[in-house]
Structure 1
Amino acid sequence: MRQRKRKSRPAQPPLRAVWRTNIDDHPIGLAWSPNGKNLAVAGVSGPITLFNGADGAVRHRLPGHALDTMAISWRKDSRLLASVGQDGKVRLWDVATGMQISEMAGGASWVERVAFSPLGDWLVSAAGRKLRLWNSSGELIREYPDANSTITDIKWRHDGRQFAVSAYNGVVLYDPEEAEPLRRFEWQGSTLTLEWSPNGKYIATGDQDSTVHFWITDTGNDLQMWGYETKVLELAWSFNSRYLATGGGTQVVIWDCSGKGPEKTRPIMVEGHQHLIKHLNFQRQGMLLASGGNDGLLAIWKVGTKKAALLADVVFKAPIACLAWSPDDRCIAVSDESGTLSIAAVRRL
């Protein structure tokens, strides 16, 4: 008996376009709602657009901030979106109605940072040296003493029990239940951005002097990595806390933090971009890393032991402005500086 030859199915491309649009603005913030149903895109001129994540239909156009919107953050239940801007305000938006439900004073003329806690019970904002803590409804809980210099970043630990604040001279840790800082990681330099490892062991920082710091949270000891082309503004941890991907040049530099940590190890060097890398983002529960650069290139890499393999790349007509994986890791949203917004499905590997 002869067996019939089966026709082989054509291989599916790693990326498949889902929908595409243009916001006619320079995007400064791109964030999926935690339930994955909505995608918020903030433009530099102020307005914030809420899209249906599945098909790109516009749900609401929020006025945002009269001057420029600076940052956005979702509450865990996906019902509220927080935004801050150059009008000195923190605003809360009801996603169902598209209406503003609260307006709070940030403490200075510009409010640069805002972040809901992972559990959705706290909201923290930064305006210049001013650091304020709110409850999830927008009531002021606490104003902390002024920071030593302009606050450059705020990030919550993944369990929501602490948040870290960066500025010149290092990083300060806070417990939202306490009025005084928990700990200071001091360093005579300018810290620009920070990221907690998901297991809470490390706080990684990107610095003005073209270095990366690893702060060991239990001891306060630090490791400093040199050799970057420029100041480091791009950091991304893998979900298992093993890898930290860093920018600061045209190559993605990936540190392996397993075992005894990255000290005295050689990082994975990933080539592919022709110009400076602008954004890095690991999947929430996978090992795919997205990188976006000034060359307009979006690249998807599969990170493994001692190597990172290129799975897909797409070139946009302008530098990459923002990128974000969907909560289920099945799609990636990417915007460029011309306002193009593209959502692509990523083939499961």
Structure 2
Amino acid sequence: MAKFFKLHIRLFVCLSILMLSGCSPDSSKAQLTVEHAARGAFAAAISHDGRYSLVSSVEHGAVLWDNTTHGLKYQWSHSDQPDELIHSLAIAHDSSTAVTAANDRFAVWQLSDGKNIGYYQIDTGTIRDIAVSNQGRYVLYGRSDNVVVHLDLDSGRRIEFLGHQEKINSIALSPNGHFALTGANDYSAYFWDTRTGQVLHRFNHPSRVTKVALDPQGRYAFTADSMKKASIWQLTSGDLVAQLQYIARQKIFSAVRFNQQGDLLATGSPNRQLTLWRISDGTKLNTWLVKPREGSRPKSAVVFDVAFAKRDGILVTESSSGLMEQFERVKE
């Protein structure tokens, strides 16, 4: 009888600890993992609703995956050159189109049938980051020569934004293509009107700006630098909403996504970390680790992109390990 009570007491204590912690022992691990690139990925983008993943790899160029059926939809390439590296990818907010970019060229594709809309060559600098608007009408790309280009694919109209003094690291485009957020090595991020080139807000940092993101609803902007400052800004006024709260001396962000409701922010890092934050005060809510590629040394992975799915209950990631992973959010 004594053993019976001891066993039940131990079970009760273990269950109590799990209930107090609010999670299971494996809550930091993905509930679903699907291989999208056997030898790892160079770059990846996820649609806003988490349904599609676009992955660049050494074996297959750029491949579009359906994350609901886990089937390969399309395989795209810029040329017959096997060594051409597609290093930047983006999917339009409405999942109508995608863009793939190498150093000196980019291509736009329809998601409905996989057809190519156009191939485009650049003559100056190299492409550092790229984005595409709803319906694939506008493309925005940042170049190594400090210039950001906004291109209207329907009319051919082109605007070059010359506000930055050093090379571009990260860009973001509003769904309608009318507003851009760009960050560079000149310690600055600019929010500007792509129709006029007029700067609406300038966000200053103490070191080079390495990552920017826009809330698709037009409420917030995110900017982060190479050291310790990661900020959420109110787009209408340009005022600071919150700074992300973390202890590390340095934190680099490789992926950022606002949720639809505008109360949560998900970020990914080059050290496997996936983190969920509260927008109102920058508080960290949850942290997970994506899986490194089997046999990789060191055991690390860069989180290339993250998206919210199933009413913010699931976070979908793509990483350099070539894996799509889904993490269940523990409601705070």
TM-score, L = length of structure 1? 0.66
Matched-pair identity in %: 21
- Tell me, in whole angstroms, the C-alpha distance in 2 between the residues paired with 1:215 and 1:165: 14
Tell me the amino acid that sits aligned with residue 234 of structure 1: K
1:227 to 1:284, Cα distance in 2 relative to 1, 3 A: same
Write out aligned runs for 1:215-230 (5 A): 215-222=192-199, 223-229=201-207
Residue 268 in 1 paired to residue 242 in 2? yes
The residue number in structure 2 matching 1:26 is none
The residue number in structure 2 matching 1:232 is 209
217-226 or 332-341, larger mean C-alpha shift: 332-341
Say whether the 8 Å CA contact 1:119–1:160 is kept in structure 2: no
- Tell me, in whole angstroms, the C-alpha distance in 2 between the residues paired with 1:257 and 1:303: 13
- Secondary structure at the aligned position of 2:29 is classed as strand
1:147 to 1:117, Cα distance in 2 relative to 1, 3 A: farther
Match of 2:56 among 65, 84, 89: 84
- Tell me, in whole angstroms, the C-alpha distance in 2 between the residues paired with 1:257 and 1:74: 24
Residue 70 in 1 paired to residue 46 in 2? no
Q: Quote the offset at 1:139 in angstroms.
A: 3.8
Write out aligned runs for 1:18-29 (5 A): 20-21=29-30
When the two structures are aligned, how many residues end up with a matched partner? 293
Q: Quote the offset at 1:155 in angstroms.
A: 1.2
List runs of 5+ in structure 2 lacking aligned partners: 1-17, 291-298
Say whether the 8 Å CA contact 1:166–1:172 is kept in structure 2: yes
- Tell me, in whole angstroms, the C-alpha distance in 2 between the residues paired with 1:342 and 1:88: 23
Residues 137-165 of structure 1 show CA distances to partners (whole Å, capped at 9, x for unaligned) of 44443222324211111112356432211
Say whether the 8 Å CA contact 1:157–1:163 is kept in structure 2: yes
Say whether the 8 Å CA contact 2:133–2:173 is kept in structure 1: yes
TM-score, L = length of structure 2? 0.69
Residues 262-300 of structure 1 show CA distances to partners (whole Å, capped at 9, x for unaligned) of 2xx556334313122324332232311234557776554
Say whether the 8 Å CA contact 2:148–2:161 is kept in structure 1: yes
The residue number in structure 2 matching 1:130 is 105
Q: Quote the offset at 1:130 in angstroms.
A: 0.9
Say whether the 8 Å CA contact 1:210–1:227 is kept in structure 2: yes
- Tell me, in whole angstroms, the C-alpha distance in 1 between the residues paired with 2:43 and 2:206: 27
1:12 to 1:290, Cα distance in 2 relative to 1, 3 A: farther
Match of 1:250 among 190, 208, 228: 228
Tell me the amino acid that sits aligned with residue 126 of structure 2: T
Match of 1:326 among 272, 293, 308: 308
Residue 112 in 1 paired to residue 87 in 2? yes
List runs of 5+ in structure 1 lacking aligned partners: 1-9, 22-54
CA RMSD of aligned residues (A): 4.1
The residue number in structure 2 matching 1:170 is 147
Residues 295-325 of structure 1 show CA distances to partners (whole Å, capped at 9, x for unaligned) of 7765543223xxx152524475987832624
More helix by proportion, 1 or 2? 2
